[in-house]
Chain A
Amino acid sequence: MKKIIIQIGSFILDPIRKFGQLKFSDRVVSFSNKNPWLKMLIAFIVVGVLIVLVYVI
């Protein structure tokens, strides 16, 4: 009985665990640390888009 409960629980949790194993956040933060220009570029793009949306269109 305990085994069945554990198996069902694992089946439900598996997709979340698999996503965790991808270490998505580790990769993103590590990439951002190694490329400090990226944050600046994203900020420029966001500002550019906002200015176009608010003042131009």
Chain B
Amino acid sequence: MTDWLFILLDGYIVWMIVFFLLSFFLSSKRVFRMLLFIIFLYVITWGAEELELVISATILGYVKEWIPLIFVVILSPDIRKSFESAFVIDSKRDVATMGSAETKQHIVEAVTYLSSQNIGALITVEKHSSLDQYAERAIQMNSQVSKELLINIFTPLTPLHDGAVIIRGDTIRCAGAYYVLSETTKYDKTMGSRHRAALGISEVSDSLTIVVSEETGTISIVIEGIMLKANDKEKIYEYLNMFMK
């Protein structure tokens, strides 16, 4: 009986270590690229040693000794961030809570109004992937979704207008959120930062983002790195209905 308890305890500790390492290496593209580069270096070094390539094996042998130190120095901000957030409980569980028909209606009406007034807007509807890491750095709201509130948030010259609103279920989680801009070359290079931000968040999460252009008032829906134009109410409602099932 006690043996089983020790095995369970052992497994529990190892699981936490493995999960922490996986979370760290998959936390950003930069960290993962660095991991791939290090694996590549180790494989090349091993190959050079096996094939007895004297010069390469010697040079790579020296490089190999310094890899752990280089790794720690380059990724120190990411390592610090991972330790800080290792035991922070995400406010969102893996179950996606989708908004009601009323919420969809409010979003559609707010977006079409903002479009008619040429007011820029960026609204992200969360699905399974948590957007807490963006929400934490923004202005917390936790208020019921309403057309009036959304319009107010994006009204120019107000403190919250320059950023994204994140919607979770029927509530506005936060306003003034900032995303990492997409580096995609699929779309026009003159595309504004609001659209690039929408593409950026859609590439790293399964969310849906609605963008209203400040210059032209056009409405775009961004999902899975794809941007679609949706200029009439019915179309936006259709997309929201498909997404918020």
Contacts and interface: CB of A to CB of B under 8 A. Distances in A.
Interface of A: 24-26, 28-30, 32-37, 39-40, 42-44, 46-47, 50-51, 55
A28 B129 contact: no
Interface of B: 7, 10-11, 14-15, 18-19, 22-23, 26, 28-29, 32-33, 36, 94, 128-130, 203-206
A37 B29 contact: no
Interface of A is mostly: helix
A50 B11 CA distance: 8
A39 B22 contact: yes
Contacts of B19: 39-40, 43
Contacts of A29: 26, 28-29, 32, 204
Contacts of B205: 33-34
Given A28-B32, A33-B204, A47 B15 contact: yes
A30 B203 CA distance: 6
B13 to A, nearest CB: 9
